[in-house]
Amino acid sequence: MSFRDESDGHRRFALPGARLQYGPDRTVDVEHIDLHLTPDLNAQSLDGVCTTTVRALDEPVDHVVLNAVDLQILSVEYNGKLQRFERRNDTLEIQFDTAVAPGAQATFSVTYRVERPRHGLFFIEPSREYPGRVGQAWTQSQDENARYWFPCFDYPDSKQTTSTTIVVKKGLFALGNGALVERKDDGDRTIFRYRQDVPHSTYLMTLVAGPFSEIEQRNAGAGSVPVWYYVVPGREADGDRAFGNTPRMLEVFEERTGTSYPYARYSQIAVADFIFGGMENTSATTQTDRTLHDATAHLDFSSDPLVSHELAHQWFGDLLTCRDWAHAWLNEGFATYFECVWFEANLGYDEYLFDVFGCVARYLDEDSERYRRPIVCNRFRDPIELFDRHLYEKGGAVLHMLRGELGDARFWRSIRRYVKENAQRSVETIDLIRAIEDATGRNLRGFFDQWVFRGGHPDLEISVAWDAKRKAATVTIDQKQTVDDANPAYVFDVEIGFVNDVDPKPATDFGPGPLPGERRMRIHVERAHETVTVPLDFEPKLFRFDPGAFILGSVTYKFGADFAAATMVGDPDPAARIRAARELAKDGSLVAREALGAAFTREPFWGVLDATAGALGATKAPWAREILLAALTHEHPKVRRAVADALGNFRNGVGAALVTPATGDASYYVRAAALASLGRSRDAAAFDVLRVAVEGQSWNGIVEAGAARGLAELADPRGAELLINATRLGRDEGLRRAAVIALGRFAELVESERTRVIDVIGELLDDRMLLVQIAAISAAESLGDERLLPALNRLSTSAFDGRVRRDAVEAAMRIREARKVPAQVSSLRSDLDSLREEQRKLQEKIEALSRS
Ligand SMILES: [Zn+2]
């Protein structure tokens, strides 16, 4: 089976074995789940009693089939009597001795035990390699792993109220969903009782237990909702840096959604070795403890994206839940978009737009490098496969575009309507479309067809020309993606504007509106090549395309150096300035070089300089290197980071300049970027600096990870030992991930170390840290060595985690694809040889005939 979609040259999302997925049939409605849980952190076990109250639908129910994996079922009770039950594959089937009548309620209890679970419930303990680790237990139920820690109807469309009793050793803390209704000591144990009175799905249920400091946050404006965070003792200050903005976020999101925070309290608990960034369990988010950070990291790192994302889920995902995974963008796209919304409220419009811009870039990357799919899509093997950049980033970008389409007032009115009408319900995309229609009268089915139900996006090229004689500007919009019967041109409205005068400095946080004196108009685009001629009574000095960067796709300016330079100076839209910087870097004329150089002193927003540095680096031109070297001491750490990173594109004349930031910059991230670039520069001084740096110990291994990347690019065989050491258990998890990727790259460059590195990567494919395992798969894929195929094939079927399985399949396919290329080349070569032979014979015949 081909992995490539022939119609537009993009890879397919669906892997072999993928099938159309629909939610399960139901015979009962679940009304309540009561859990009584006694986790034993030392034995890594859980004793549980799960009592489920159901109501029969329209027919008598004599049995139910629950999801239950690896649970030792001890007994099942109904009406005070033990019931027959059967374990089948991953289900528990319970036979009722008397059928439940249609519409009647029934309550049954399952007593069970979990020992050393493989998924769903995780026990963290100190080990030889990590002696400082604190014992914890935490669950991760999404997408379908609640069934590993209690028997249930484990699908998002089933919503019920819950109560959770957790019994732990005295001195430990335990977290469940909803209000903490009781907490009492009982001998050497403590009992916690939680109640979640707002119906929620099983994938949002949680249990966390361990020693935690409990901190209640100041909560000035957020109604009466108590806000808490929990961290291991000693990390309270780091917790405050990570979670400090939560109460203010709550206020902002209540205002934007028009709906009060729906649960009795909001808690964030930071756990070790978490397998995601965060998980939005209702009222009780689990966060990775890697987001806790020191004051140095706080210079240019913020937990706000993670914190705002999980908080937004309390509305989008938790209160309104996707009915099935195909529509999971209603959870993730919204949560991603609300990260931007928080930026807008907290830091202003420019940061908002830059965040959206980043979402689009990451989606475009996945679309070109990995596969293309519609956002709503129900052909897959595991639901977790859907949790990609199409779901998150493209989903978020669609909401930004929707805001542009409707305008602010109508957009927020629609969102509020959608939340209000669907609170506590399960939703599909049509519910959002209808809410918009109800709130505004706009029928956006075409919009959703194009951007949500169809894969892809337009790749736009925009040019503008001024005809002084006719006093008219001509704007050309080309759609450069494949356009044919199967892939029609994108249809959209877009705003353009002409300005007569350029302000010498762009306004900040200006928003998408028109500048004073701007001639603004909305044009309709529906063909692959559109030309608009606009008569003007002035010669425009500034041309604006799509202020607010609403159109989801790639946009390349072909404005010419003068217009682009004017954009860099005077367009208040940071996305426009970034696009202009990219054009100018490619242009390279004197006008362009001057505009780019001046940007580093004039540009008010670091985000534009981040992109400008990247564009300059990509040129690899000496003049660009000089601009970057001069910018290496910029006051903003995120600019210094981007500049240091961009300098990695140059081999000569940058090494000496990078040593100072690599060893002495105030920011971890700048040091890391400078170290990586120092390695890429292959400067003679690099090895000694990298050797020291990779053995260090910075927050989350950030600096060491930069050194590992540098060692890979330096391609000095002495780096092998250092890199292998950096992947070892005992080192920071983030460093281990970076180091395994770096090792893969290193082996590409240093043939003599390849076999040894492949052995190490082979071992890491089975690493007990899931995220290290995933990094190892990625390293195996980019290395493309067939010797890793058997291990990848094994993981693709037998791994427990859906992400591991999917990544392993993709990696193995790409390695096999790459193997096919040499085979194809040699087959074509032999075709060519026989054609040459044929040609020779024909020529002989011709010559013979002409002689005769
Ligand atoms: Zn999320």
Residue type, position 50, single letter: C
Centre of ligand 1 to C-alpha 334, Å, is 9
Centre of ligand 1 to C-alpha 435, Å, is 22
Model confidence at 257: pLDDT above 60 = yes
Strands 72-78, 81-82: pairing kind: antiparallel
Q: Which residues pair with 285 in a beta bridge?
A: 268
Q: Which of 112-126, 264-278, 351-365, 500-514 bottoms out in mean pLDDT, i.e. has the lowest?
A: 500-514
pTM to 2 decimal places: 0.95
d(CA 343, CA 363): 20
Centre of ligand 1 to C-alpha 385, Å, is 14
Centre of ligand 1 to C-alpha 374, Å, is 19
pLDDT for the residue numbered 2: 39
CA angle 758, 760, 761 (to 5 degrees): 65
Centre of ligand 1 to C-alpha 280, Å, is 7
Centre of ligand 1 to C-alpha 745, Å, is 31
pLDDT for the residue numbered 219: 64
3-state SS, one letter per residue, for 316-353 = ECCCEEECCHHHCHHHHHHHHHHHHHHHHHHHCHHHHH
Model confidence at 9: pLDDT above 80 = no
Residue 546 φ then ψ, to 5°: 50, 60
pLDDT for the residue numbered 1: 33
- Mean pLDDT calculated for residue range 148-154: 98
- Mean pLDDT calculated for residue range 208-217: 97
Model confidence at 829: pLDDT above 90 = no
Q: What's the pLDDT tens digit per position in 120-138?
A: 999 999 999 999 999 999 9
Model confidence at 145: pLDDT above 60 = yes
Centre of ligand 1 to C-alpha 457, Å, is 23
Answer yes or no: are the C-beta atoms of 502 and 566 closer than 8 Å: yes
CA angle 6, 10, 15 (to 5 degrees): 90
Centre of ligand 1 to C-alpha 332, Å, is 5
Strands 266-271, 227-231: pairing kind: parallel
pLDDT for the residue numbered 800: 87
Centre of ligand 1 to C-alpha 178, Å, is 19
- Mean pLDDT calculated for residue range 29-49: 98
> What residues flank ion ligand 1 with Cβ within 5 A?
332, 335
Q: In the structure, what pLDDT confidence band is assigned to residue 3 with cuts at 50, 70 and 90?
A: very low
Model confidence at 668: pLDDT above 50 = yes
Centre of ligand 1 to C-alpha 594, Å, is 43
pLDDT for the residue numbered 11: 87
- Mean pLDDT calculated for residue range 107-125: 97
Answer yes or no: are the C-beta atoms of 505 and 604 closer than 8 Å: yes
Model confidence at 21: pLDDT above 60 = yes
- Tokens 């006051």 correspond to 635
Model confidence at 6: pLDDT above 50 = no
Model confidence at 72: pLDDT above 70 = yes
Q: What's the pLDDT tens digit per position in 475-519?
A: 999 999 999 999 999 999 999 999 998 888 889 999 999 999 999
Q: What's the pLDDT tens digit per position in 682-719?
A: 999 999 999 999 999 999 999 999 999 999 999 999 99
The share of the chain scoring above pLDDT 70, in percent, equals 98
Closest C-alpha to 357, from 308, 400, 321: 400
Integer CA distances (angstroms), 471 to 532, 533, 534, in order: 14, 10, 9
Centre of ligand 1 to C-alpha 328, Å, is 9
Centre of ligand 1 to C-alpha 316, Å, is 9
Centre of ligand 1 to C-alpha 308, Å, is 10
Answer yes or no: are the C-beta atoms of 215 and 292 closer than 8 Å: no
Model confidence at 220: pLDDT above 60 = no
Centre of ligand 1 to C-alpha 311, Å, is 9
pLDDT for the residue numbered 629: 98
Centre of ligand 1 to C-alpha 310, Å, is 6
Instruction: Compute the mean pLDDT over every residue in the chain, rounded to the nearest whole number.
Output: 96
pLDDT for the residue numbered 164: 98
Q: What's the pLDDT tens digit per position in 280-339?
A: 999 999 999 999 999 999 999 999 999 999 999 999 999 999 999 999 999 999 999 999
- Mean pLDDT calculated for residue range 126-153: 96
Centre of ligand 1 to C-alpha 309, Å, is 6
Centre of ligand 1 to C-alpha 335, Å, is 6
Model confidence at 848: pLDDT above 90 = no
